[in-house]
Amino acid sequence: MQKTIHNKQNGLDYTLCVEYYLPNLLPPQTGEKEIGIWGMRHLRYIKRHRKVRYINLLTTGKLNTYLAKIDERAQNMKAVLTKQIAEQENVNEMLKERNQLEWAQKMNNIRNRVEEIINNKIIFN
């Protein structure tokens, strides 16, 4: 008897255990990628509000890759938007030298707005 077999009808692989073939229910192991805060936020969101998507990604073994891509997109968007908004509102090194408190307030405001944009466009979508 073969140790493993593949069923073309349902696409599952089966492994011989004693006398019975049992389905391999674990997804294929892939290289684990680092997931940051944005990926973790999205994971929490899809677990609560998009359960079918979460289960599909989990069972196909694509969850980690998907979350890593979401995290990377969000990080890139944060860097680009923060730079663009800071340039538009003249929040630069000259302001930082002249008035550090005002610069910090404006940068915190920009970061909060950028996080809100990312949450709406990527994380909770």
Q: Where are the domains of the chain?
A: 1-30, 31-123
**pLDDT tens digits along 12-61:** 888 888 888 888 876 555 567 889 999 999 999 999 999 999 999 988 88
**Which DSSP state fits 121?**
I
Mean of all residue pLDDT scores within the chain:
91
pLDDT of residue 4: 87
pLDDT of residue 19: 85
Q: What is the DSSP string of 76-88?
A: HHHHHHHHHHHHH
| Integer Cα distance of 57 and 21 in angstroms | 25
117 vs 24, higher pLDDT? 117
pTM attached to this predicted model: 0.74
Q: Are strands 4-6 and 20-23 parallel, antiparallel or unpaired?
A: unpaired
Burial class (CB in 10 A: 0-12, 13-18, 19+), 43: buried
Q: Tokens 């069972």 label which residue? A: 59
